[in-house]
Structure 1
C-alpha cells in the first residue's frame, strides 16, 4: 500500500466567501473533503485511491491523506483503512460533514465494498454530506463537471487530467498482476496520486471561495 500524507499551507480564509449551509459559513472547519479513484466492472471491484483532506484548525494546514493499492491484498485492506480514517476524523478531529462532488457514486462504491468485507459503517450516523455539484445546480439551475467548475473558480491544475477509463485500466492491471506495480514508473504512480490530491484540494478551495464566484452579478 502506498500511503501519503501531505500538509499544505493555505491562504487566510474569509467566512464571508465560504459556502453557507444551514445558515453556517464556517462548516469548512468541521468538514472532510473526500474523493475516490476506483475500478468498476459491472459491480465495484476496488478502490484504487482513497483521498481525503481536512483543515487542521490548530495550524491552518490542509492535511491530505491518500492510500493507493499496490496489489489484490491492498484492495481488501484499503476499505478497512478508509473506515478507520473516517472514525478518527469524527472522534479525534470533530469532523461532522463530508464534502464531495457528485458523491453518490463514491458512496455507492465504498458502501458496496464495506458490505462485501463485513464492515459496519453508516455514514449518515457520523456525517452530513454536502455535494458541491448539487449546490451548484441549486444556485445556477444547471449541472456541471468538476473540471469545468475548477475553470470557473480559476483553479489551475498542476497535473493533466486523467480519464476514468485510464485509471480503471491501471487498477485492473494492479488487481490481476501483483508484480505490475513494480514495473509501473514512479512518475505514473505520482501522477495518479497528485491527480487525486488535486481533486480533494479543489473541493476545499471551491468551498471556501464559493461566494466570491457564485454571488457575482451574472447579468450581462
Structure 2
C-alpha cells in the first residue's frame, strides 16, 4: 500500500467569503474534505485511493492523507485506516463536517465495504455531510460537475485529467494481478495520487471562496 501525506501552505482565509452552513462560517476549520477513487462491478469491490484533508489553522496548512491500493491484500487495511482516520479526526481534532462533491457514490461504496468486512464505522454518527454540488444547486438552481465548477472558481489543475472509467480499470487490474502495480510506471502512480489530491484540495478552495464567487453570480 502507498501511504502519502502532504501539506499545502494556505494564505490566510477570510471568513467574509466562506460557505456557512446553518450560520456556521467556520466550516472550513471544522471539516474534513473527502474523495475516493474506487472500483465497482455491480457492487463495490475495493477502494483504489482514499483521500482526505483538513485545515490546520495554527500552521496555515491543508494536511492531506492518502492511501492507495497496490495489490488485493491492501483492500482490507485501507478500510481499517479509513475508519481510524475518521475517528481520529472526530475524537482528537474535533472535526464535525465531511465535505464532498456529489459524495453519495463515495459514501455508498465505503459504507458497503465497511459493512461487508464487519468494520464498525458509521460516518453519519461522526460527521454532518456537506455536498458542494447540492449547495451550488440550492443557490443557483443549476446542476454542475466538479471540473466545470472549478473553472468558475478559477481553479487550474496540474497534469492531465483522468476519467473515472480509466481509474476503475486500473484498480480492476490491481485486484486481479498481484504484480500489476510493480509494472506500472512510477509516473502513472503519482499522476493518480495527484488527481485525487487535487479533487480534495478543490473542495477546500471552493468552500473558502464560496461567497466571493456567489456574489459575482
TM-score category of the 2 structures, normalised to the smaller one: over 0.9
Residue segments in structure 1 that go unaligned for 5+ positions in a row? none
SS of 2:94's equivalent in the other structure is: coil
2:169 aligned partner: 169
1:62 is aligned to 2:62:
yes
| CA shift for structure 1 position 125 | 1.1
2:124 aligned partner: 124
1:21 aligned partner: 21
1:32 aligned partner: 32
SS of 2:80's equivalent in the other structure is: helix
Normalising by structure 1, what TM-score?
A: 0.97
Please give the alpha-carbon distance, in whole angstroms, between the structure 1 residues aligned to 2:200 and 2:138: 21
2:10 aligned partner: 10
Please give the alpha-carbon distance, in whole angstroms, between the structure 2 residues aligned to 1:167 and 1:210: 29
Matches of residues 19-168 of structure 1 in structure 2 within 5 Å? 19-168=19-168
| CA shift for structure 1 position 57 | 2.1
Please give the alpha-carbon distance, in whole angstroms, between the structure 1 residues aligned to 2:211 and 2:193: 29
Query: RMSD value over aligned CA atoms?
Result: 0.7
Residue segments in structure 2 that go unaligned for 5+ positions in a row? none
| CA shift for structure 1 position 163 | 0.3
Structure 1 moving runs of 4+ over 4 Å: none
| CA shift for structure 1 position 4 | 0.2
Please give the alpha-carbon distance, in whole angstroms, between the structure 1 residues aligned to 2:159 and 2:205: 16
Q: Deviations over 1:80-112 (max 9, x none)?
A: 110000001111111110000001100000000
SS of 1:129's equivalent in the other structure is: strand
Please give the alpha-carbon distance, in whole angstroms, between the structure 2 residues aligned to 1:84 and 1:156: 32
Please give the alpha-carbon distance, in whole angstroms, between the structure 1 residues aligned to 2:144 and 2:21: 20
Please give the alpha-carbon distance, in whole angstroms, between the structure 1 residues aligned to 2:159 and 2:37: 16
Please give the alpha-carbon distance, in whole angstroms, between the structure 2 residues aligned to 1:54 and 1:186: 27
1:195 aligned partner: 195
| CA shift for structure 1 position 48 | 0.1
Please give the alpha-carbon distance, in whole angstroms, between the structure 2 residues aligned to 1:116 and 1:97: 25
| CA shift for structure 1 position 121 | 1.2
Please give the alpha-carbon distance, in whole angstroms, between the structure 2 residues aligned to 1:118 and 1:5: 27
SS of 1:211's equivalent in the other structure is: helix
Please give the alpha-carbon distance, in whole angstroms, between the structure 2 residues aligned to 1:133 and 1:22: 17
Normalising by structure 2, what TM-score?
A: 0.99
Please give the alpha-carbon distance, in whole angstroms, between the structure 2 residues aligned to 1:60 and 1:9: 6
| CA shift for structure 1 position 214 | 1.0
| CA shift for structure 1 position 126 | 0.9
Q: Deviations over 1:131-176 (max 9, x none)?
A: 0000000001010000000000000001211001100010001110
